[in-house]
Amino acid sequence: MKHLKMILTVLLTLALLAPASMGTLAVGDGTDEYLYLRSGYLSEGQVNIVRRARQLVEIQWTPVYDLHQWGYDGTFKAGTTYTGAPYGQPVHGAYIGYGATPSEFLDACEDSGSRMYSEYSYYSKIAPYYSTDCSGFVSYCWALEERETTREIPDVSELVEEQSINGLEVGDCLNNSSTHAVLVTGVVRDASGEVVLIETMEQTPPKAKRTVYGAGNKLSLDYFNSYYLASGGYRIYRYPDRDSVTYAHDCAVPVDGDYCDRCRDRAPSAVTTYGSGYKSVELKSGSNAVIYYTTDGSMPTLNSEVYTSPLYFEKPTMLRAMAWTGDFEGARILSYYVGLEACALPGYSVSGMSEGTAVSYGSKVTLTCATSGAQIYYTTDGSDPLGAGMRYTGPITIESDTEIRAAAKADGYRDSGTAVFSFTVKNFSSFNDVAPDAWYAAAVNYAYSMGIFNGTSEGVFSPDGEMTRGMFITVLGRMAGVTSETSCELGLVSGDAVNLRSAPDVNSSALATLGRGYLVRVLGSENGWYQVAWDELTGYISAEHLSAYAGAFWDVDTASYYSPYVQWAYLMGISRGTGSGTFSPDARISRQDLAAMLYNYAKVMGISLNEINSGVWFADDASISSAQKEAVYALGRAGIINGMGDGSFNPSGSATRAQVAQIMMNFIK
């Protein structure tokens, strides 16, 4: 009986307060009807705030080309219709609702020549030119004069005294100044005044959305309270001028059937199929409309061609189309440039010493193509690259005189011609103290061109100088792609799909998801959490998912050039130092220590060592440390490390910089 009374009270309240334009309302049944009333008086300003939110949540749009969004390639696919404005932080773009109205946004989506496709917004990640973020969403709904950030929202609003569910009113903002802002668009109470349902709308990746909590919906009020108010770092803010907020009809989003005489039928969407030398375009409309189109650049009219089947294009064409139902004065126009130009001819760049087409041994040739999405094929035997060529997947190593023939192809483009690049190998002197005919010249130049070796000073390599432990671990780290940032301590993500959170709490919002083996900068620790920096983000990772360096070696200054590489090697298990908390970075590296580190590197990186000489045996086998013997012989059998001229290995002996350059070239090859 009590539940029946509550439901009747809520339904009566909704019926009494709903303006005529609000349509049918439902409570707690999980449908898509919008619940944005509360028990009590709802001002016109509050209703308008919700209407403005619905414009961004309900807008339907169809991109002509694929749109990359917030760092995820192909989030929005050409020809697919989406509901909800796209997410982004368009610092160099246009906010929907500020830089562009919903209608202007829709026009841009339907015009392949618009800034939606010719420009992108870059903040910390790529995003569509016309988009909006969480604070831009709230700013638009509150009809602020300009977009405010999450840090600025408290400056234009008032902190609600009762920071609880019962303190919420329609139009309030749940704001976390560091991360996110959410608009409250529905608060339903029972006969006793207790909140039974809450609705929110927000701008979030990948697009704007609506969420309902409580009254039988998937998410409960307890979840809402825990996520936002109990531990999520959110505070309730109220716009003091909410009752003066107005709503302007926009033909792009007729809220609750709010059509006007100027509203137009939606443009058709274009679904493209690519073939060799042509594009096939299928036009679609969500209504029972007649589609008219032109291919001469003119605007379609009722006298234009009627679309009946897919259109085929073998040359660049401007396709324009409209879907006509006769219900409105005009129709939105799809403007789609169907390009079919030739794929760009491949080009190249060389990593290593070079003079024209003369390159140093081991130089890397990178093939490029200016056509987006093109695939490059190449040969080195003089044959046709598009006939018998290999697909290019990474730089080509030049170890002898080589001719590369390359061609490119891409969907929707004609195949490119064939580019021919001829390279001759020449011994260059990268350093003043490395003669071009020295036995180690090729290895030194190779290691230098690979970016794993530097000189000891300007123009000086010091080939006969002893290799230190710090130098060698730096070589390994550079080969693994570890950055050279210093003056910090590192941590290694030890779990799969680990969340970088905004606060040291499992209920806080996730800023990013990191994979096993990611390196982060450790800023501090508290209550089982590490505060870390990754990319441009700062957040928290649980200690159970992170292995921290935590000053493992007292003799490694974090400001030294080798510090990040030593920390990386420790975290990866490549080297645990020389004992008693020391790494001895300035000590010479022995031949057996070098072998052990290189062998551990191969295991950690998943590199299999070939066995080309199974009969390797060193005369001073008894002198090789038992802990390092496996590494010494594995590298010896692979032909990476050789013995001395007398058949010994000399495990405690030094390794010169020239010798190590040769070893690393052998290893990489």
In three-state form (DSSP H/G/I as H, E/B as E, the rest C), the secondary structure along 16-66 is HHCCHHHCCCCCCCCCCCCCCCCCCCCCHHHHHHHHHHHHHHHCEECCCCC
Rounded Cα distance, 235 and 575, in Å: 48
Q: Do 45 and 120 share a domain, yes or no?
A: yes
Residue 543 per-residue DSSP state: G
Judgement on whether residues 222 and 333 belong to the same structural domain of the protein: no
In a domain, 436, yes or no: no
Does 287 share its domain with 202? Answer: no
Report the pLDDT value the prediction gives residue 486, as an integer from 0 to 100: 61
Q: Same domain, yes or no, for 464 and 530? A: yes
CA distance 593 to 572: 16
Both 293 and 251 in one domain: the answer is: no
Q: What is the pLDDT of residue 437?
A: 83
Q: Give the span between the Cα atoms of 187 and 185, in whole angstroms.
A: 7
User: What is the number of residues in the chain?
Assistant: 669
pLDDT of res. 32: 36
Q: Which residues pair with 125 in a beta bridge?
A: none
Decide which of 229, 259, 289 is a domain's last residue: 259
Quote the strand ranges of 315-456, DSSP E: 317-324, 334-338, 347-351, 354-355, 358-359, 363-368, 375-379, 390-391, 396-398, 402-409, 419-425
Same domain, 397 and 479: no
Residue 120 lies in a domain: yes
Phi then psi dihedrals of residue 94, to 5 deg? -125, 130
Residues 353 and 332 in one domain: no
Sign of the CA dihedral 570, 574, 577, 583?
negative
Whether residues 241 and 270 share a domain: the answer is no
Residue 432 lies in a domain: no
Tally the C-alpha atoms within 13 A of residue 562's C-alpha that lie toward its C-beta.
22
Domain carrying residue 618: 441-668
Q: Are residues 305 and 374 in the same domain?
A: no
**Residue 214: CB partners within 8 Å, gap ≥ 6?**
28, 195, 196, 197, 198, 220, 221, 224
Q: What phi, psi does 395 have (nearest 5°)?
A: -55, 145
Strand 130-131 and strand 94-95: pairing? parallel
* 558 backbone φψ class: left, alpha, beta (φ>0; ψ -120 to 50): alpha
Domain co-membership, 175 together with 308: no
Last residue of a domain, one of 228, 243, 259: 259
Does residue 100 sit in the same domain as residue 145? yes
Identify the segments of the chain with pLDDT beneath 50. Answer: 1-40
Integer Cα distance of 421 and 357 in angstroms: 8
Which CATH number goes with the domain that contains 269? Answer: 2.60.40
Of 425, 451, 485, which closes a domain? 425
Q: Are 343 and 321 in contact (CB under 8 A)?
A: no
Q: What is the pLDDT of residue 628?
A: 93
Is residue 655, in this structure, part of any structural domain at all? Answer: yes
Q: Which two tokens stand for residue 66?
A: 């694929």
Give the three-state DSSP class for 200. strand
Q: What backbone phi and psi angles, to 5 degrees, belong to 406?
A: -135, 145
Would 648 be classed as within a structural domain? yes
User: Same domain, yes or no, for 359 and 300?
Assistant: no
* pTM of the predicted model as reported, rounded to 2 decimal places: 0.50
Show the tokens assigned to 604. 């950690």
Q: How many domains does the chain have?
A: 4
For β-strands 498-501 and 290-294, DSSP reports them as unpaired
